Each structure stands twice: as structure tokens, then as C-alpha cells.
Amino acid sequence: MLNLKGTIQKRKKIKAPKAAFLALSKNLTIKSLKNKKVGKNYKKDKYFLFEEASFMVLVFGQDEARPLYLNKLAKRYCGPSCENLLAPARPNFKINPIWQGWRKRHAEALRALFTKKIPMRIINIPLHYQSRLSSRERRRSERYFKFIYQPLGSKTGPITEVIVFGLEVSEQLLLVNQVMKAMEGLREEREKTSVILESISDVFIAIDRKWNITYMNKRAEFMHGKPQSDSLGKKLWSEFPIYKKPEFANYVRGSMQQRKFLEFDYFYAFTNKWWHYRCHPTPEGLVLYASDITEKKEMELQKDAFIAHTSHELKTPITSLKLYAGTLLYKLKKSKDTSLTTYVEGIDERLNKLTGLINSLLEASRIQRGKISFNKTKFSIDKLVEEAVGNIRKIAKNHKLTVKNSSLKMIEADRGRIEQVFINLINNACSYSPSGSEVVVTVTAKDNNIVVAIKDSGIGLTEKDKENIFKSFYQVNDRERKKIPSGLGLGLSISKNIVEAHGGKIWVESIHGQGSTFFILLPVKDQRGYRGNNR
Amino acid sequence: MSKVKKQEKKSIFFIEDEVGITVPLKALLEDMGFFVEIIPRINSKLLNTIANKKPDLIFLDILLAGEDGRVFCRHLKENRETKMIPVVMMSAYPNAKESALKAGADQFIEKPFSVHELLEKVDYYLSSSNF
């Protein structure tokens, strides 16, 4: 800021007046000024050169109140009675208070100059100037002037006159003011942000690209037990060795290197708390943002425990029912009484469905919480798709299932889980498309990825369906066929979790009424080095 | 089945406290010609009883009233007299499979299972059965 101001002042300082002043003091005629239109009425005194100057020129003798000379501009700015403007205030004579302020400093400056106490003086004052643009229109504007006091006379002899140059610096000051204001705004904004960051109950740490800590809020101080002043500028890894643990470091390094937003949950055994970390890459480096989710985790654990317990409690009577039904069926078959077997088979079938529902509920809860470990092996994707389609063919006999595979790739994944995804999607395709229609499964290889597309010619999806279809418990309403959705609406949510846990993606393209195509992208090998949600 | 003489009957022990499971199973398996004994509780004498009776197959529930079936399975497998008896553990918790096999169980069957699934296990160990 100071620099800016300094340069402006320096540049503007004398240039124009100095040239004129030099010409004057050496009694030279400035040739360039000769061309200027100088009115005939002007006295041909030694100051005539200044008459049309773009800056104010005032010449004072010993009497600080009566200028010997004022140029056109000085007269204009100082008002109609400019000769008296500097005179002591008289009653009924209005003087701008700022001019009054100047008057004192002006008198001091003149006195000092005449007594050779100082060689030169510069006074900056704002001047409220009322300009008359037309007879009706009046505009008040504030202008800023810099006054340069230069004594005249020989070096050894007495000082006879003091010439005062009044340079307008409004523009420069305005610019400076604007910059100052902008800086102030920026500072305020930064302070505001800082206040917000300090007040939140979440941990906020900013790191530059070399892993140096550039900012951390109060909560971060509290969590790590180290004051901000101690940690700033130090490496994250050396300052907080706890972050070196792979379950933490892999995510943070991954986010920094790939410039990708990542989030994960981390448990601090020391404080017995769960934190949800978000890594945001920034132009400077990385921002770590962590919120305490211990309560949420506890709720989740309770929910899991509840689901696990309930499903266990439900499974025991189901087992019992299944065994009763099975025994009954055995006995009926043995006694060759076939009239009742269909009923018992019906019971058994519904019990299997009930078991399936309970299992999917349990599974969804476990998969969502990342509690399922994946047993990864290498296998042929084409073969797996063939197998999955083969399994569905046995059930969906009314649909034409076609496989087009050309990938010839081996992938590394949990075979059982991936098969589960395919079966789920192909099954959906069959159940949401009319009997006799075709379902096409295409397997293609693209770079290091496999894309499996499952296309049906069913009812298709609305925009709302597309938005929500991968959410838990969401079900597509098939009003046209009056089909009541069966199941819990967890299949696609489970599939999404499985695919994402393998570093893949799942999405759908569909036009309502014209069928849908579900896509699954799977990397040949999950090279992330870490597991979890990456949005 | 009726041809199977009593002394040739293969014996199956069910260590399970849920009557709803044991009643139909006993009825079914006895009908098929097996000797079935239901043991609803694990107690200190049970190991001796099993060592004496030497059943051909044991179905053992993981969670019995207050007892951990896995601990008993370990005892069975550590005992010279009983370690040869195949043990199939049962549980409604699918993730219990790993710990069951670790405890020495020969196989694991997840609840709810069907008669068919159970008979598969029986057939596997007592292949002479003719169901």
C-alpha cells in the first residue's frame, strides 16, 4: 500500500511544475509554451507562463494572506474572491473549513520557508469544490490537492517569494482509496472467514502442496493438543504422527496427488471418537475438514445391532417353519398324498422370499457401513456374465436373454459379489420389461476398464426415478402394468455399494417408456490402494 | 427304511435349544431311519455322554441359552474320543461361519435352512443313508 502511494506521489511530484519552475528561475522562455494560446489581456509578467497551466500556481510574498499572483486554475478553485480567501476570517465571509485548516499550515510553511528553516514543504489537503456545470446544475465534488512550496531567490541572498504549485491528485487518491477499500474488504472477508472457521465445532486444517500446515482452527488445536503457533509452517506428518497411519494417509495422499475430493471416517482410539474427514484439494494444496460423527456412528451401530438382532430373531422361527413345511412335504410325498403338496410348497416358497428380504436388509446395512470384506480373485468377466445370465434364464423363461461379449479380459474382484450385482440387474431388467421382450447384456473392454451394459425394452425410468434409483428403499412404480413393487428396494443400492467398493461406477441411461440401460464400469484391477466412497 | 435294523441305525445328535427346529427334524430324521437325540443344553456331563454314545453326526447351534457352541466344539475336537465325530454348526449369523470353522467345525449351515439343505449335510457324512 505504502509503495503504491509512494510511487504515485513520486511520479506526479514535480514533473510539470518543475520544468516550468526551472524555466522561470533561469528566466528562459519555454519554446513549447510559445505555441499555447495566451490571451492578449494577460499581463506580460514573469508568471504569464503559468496562466494556462493544468495546475494551480500561487505566488506569495512575505504576507501569507495576500498572494502576489494566482493563475487561472487557482482562481477557479479558490472561488470568486480568491485574493481574500487566505485572509483571516471575517464575519459574513464563508470559508470552507478545510481551507481554514490549510491556512494555518500555509502560514507556518511560508514562515518556515522565509526564515530558511526548511528548503521545501509539501502539504496535502482535500478541497471540497463546487463546480458549476450549467446555470441550473450544480455538482459538489471532492478534490484532493498536493501543494508544493518552493522558495525563490538566490542561494545566498534572502528569499523574496514563495511559489506554490497546487497539483490535483484526486484520481490517484481515489485509486489509492479504492485499493485501500478493496484491501479492507478482503481483510474483513478473511477475518470473517477466520471467525467462522474458529467458531465451528469442526476441525479445519489447510496444508500446502509440500505438506506444510498453513492454517488450523481452534478445534484442530484442541483435537491435537497443540497450539496453532507451534504447528504452522510445519509438516503435517511430523507434527501429527497419528496421520501416518495408512487408513488415514492413503486417503489424504490420494486426494493430494489425484486432486480429487475424498471423504472417509476415522476412529481416534485415544479420544474414543469417530471423525468424518473430507479432503478438498485447493490451488494451494489441500484442506482437511473433519466433523465429529461419534453420535451418528453410535446410532448406526445401534441400528446395525438392531437389524442384526431382529433378523436373527426372525430367522429362528423361519427356520422352524421351513423345517415343519419340509417335514410335512416329506411325509405327504411318502404317503403319496399329492393333493396338499402344492400348498406346502407355497409356504416354503414364501418363506424363502421372507428369508431373502431379511438377508437383503442385513446385507444393505453391512455393506453401506463398509463392514463386508471382499475376497478378490482373478477371473474371466465374460464367463461370469455367461453364468449369471444362465442362472436367470432358468427363472425368467419368458424373456429372451442375449449376451454380446468381446472383452476377453480377466478382472480382479470379488467374484461372488460381482455376480450378485449382475444377477440383480439382469433380474430387474426382466421383471420391469414385458414378457417375451429381449434383454441384451453387452461386455466391452475400454482401456483398463470393463463396461457391462444391461439393456431392456421395459417401462423405462422417469427423471425422478433416475435421480433416486440407487437410493435405499426406492422403488420404481409401474402404474401402467399395475405391478406392485416387490422386495425392499435395496438391490440397486447394494449393487452400487459393491461396485463402488471395487473402484467402479454404476449408472443408468433411460427414456421413459422406451426401456433402460444400466451400465457397470469396473477397473480390471482396483489401483486406488484404499477402499471407500469417492464421490 | 424299515429295513434298517435298529442296531444299524446311524445316530444324529442335535445340540439345539429351539424346539421349533428340533421337533420337525426329529420327526423327519427318525422317519428316515436315523436315531435322533435332542440335547437342549450344554452341561459338564455332555462331553462324557457324547464320548460314550459316539453319535455319527452332531449338529451344534452356535448360540445356545447362555453357552457358546464354539467353545463346546473346541472341547469336542480336543477330546480323543470325540474328535472323529463330524460336527456341523448352525447359526443365523452368516458371519459366524468363519469362527465356527476356526473352532473346529467340519461344516457350517446358515439358518434358515431347508430340509433339503440339511439332508445334504446328513448325506455327506452318513452316505449310507437312503433318502
pLDDT, residue A13, reads 40
Cell of A465: 426415478
User: Rounded to whole angstroms, how far apart are CA atoms A64 and A162?
Assistant: 10
Tell me if A59 sits within 8 A of A20, measured CB to CB: no
Report the pLDDT averaged over residues A124-139.
50
User: Rounded to whole angstroms, how far apart are CA atoms B64 and B62?
Assistant: 6
Within 8 A of B94 by CB-CB distance, chain A residues are 359, 362
Three-state secondary-structure class, residue A264:
strand
Within 8 A of B113 by CB-CB distance, chain A residues are 319, 322
Q: Residue B7 has what DSSP assignment?
A: G
Flag whether the pTM goes above 0.80.
no
Q: Which residues of B62-71 are buried (b: 16+ CB within 10 A; e: fewer)?
A: bbbeebebbe
Averaged confidence pLDDT in chain A: 77
pLDDT, residue A28, reads 41
Q: Where are the beta strands (DSSP E) in A352-437?
A: 376-380, 400-405, 410-414
Q: Do B112 and A319 touch (CB under 8 A)?
A: yes
With an 8 Å Cβ cutoff, the interface of chain B facing chain A consists of 18, 20-21, 24-25, 27-28, 31, 92-94, 111-116, 118
The tens digit of pLDDT for each residue in A387-414 reads 888 888 888 888 888 888 777 778 888 8
Backbone dihedral region of A302: left (phi > 0), alpha (psi from -120 to 50 degrees) or beta? alpha
Q: Do A330 and B111 touch (CB under 8 A)?
A: no
Within 8 A of B112 by CB-CB distance, chain A residues are 315, 318-319, 321-322, 351, 355
pLDDT, residue A24, reads 57
Could you give the ipTM of this predicted complex? 0.85
Q: Name the phi and psi angles at B11, rounded to 5.
A: -105, 140
Q: Which of A205-219, A226-240, B48-62 has the lowest mean pLDDT?
A: A226-240
Within 8 A of B114 by CB-CB distance, chain A residues are 322-323, 326, 348, 352
Best probe of the B interface among A304, A316, A341, by most B CBs < 10 A, is: A316
Domain residue limits, chain B: 11-126
pLDDT, residue B13, reads 93
The tens digit of pLDDT for each residue in A334-366 reads 888 788 888 888 888 888 888 888 888 888 877
Q: Which class is domain B11-126?
A: alpha beta
The DSSP code sequence of A1-65 is -HHHHHHHHHHHSSHHHHHHHHHHHTTPPPHHHHTS---TTS--STTGGGTT-SSEEEEE-S-TT
pLDDT, residue A145, reads 73
pLDDT, residue B73, reads 92
pLDDT, residue A14, reads 41
pLDDT, residue A240, reads 82
Residue that the C-alpha cell 438392531 belongs to: A306
State CA A125 to chain mean position distance: 44
Give the distance from residue B78's alpha carbon to the nearest chain A alpha carbon, in angstroms: 29
β-strand pairing of B107-110 with A438-446 = unpaired
Three-state secondary-structure class, residue B122:
helix
Tell me if A360 sits within 8 A of A488, measured CB to CB: yes
- Nearest of A208, A254, A248 to residue A232 by alpha carbon: A208
Best probe of the A interface among B2, B12, B19, B21, by most A CBs < 10 A, is: B21
Of how many residues is chain A composed? 535
- Contact of A302 with chain B, judged by CB distance below 8 Å, is answered with no
CB-facing half-sphere around the CA of A59: CA atoms within 13 A: 18
pLDDT, residue B106, reads 93
Q: Tell whether the model's pLDDT for residue A83 goes beyond 50.
A: no
β-strand pairing of B57-61 with B107-110 = unpaired
Please list the residues that pair with A521 across neighbouring strands: A451, A505
Q: How confident is the model at residue A43 (pLDDT cuts 50, 70, 90)?
A: very low
CB neighbour list of residue A495: distance below 8 Å, 6 or more residues apart? A420, A421, A424, A425, A506, A520
Q: Which of A66-70, A301-305, B32-36, B87-91 has the lowest mean pLDDT?
A: A66-70
Q: Do B92 and A355 touch (CB under 8 A)?
A: no
Q: Where are the beta strands (DSSP E) in A71-137?
A: 121-132
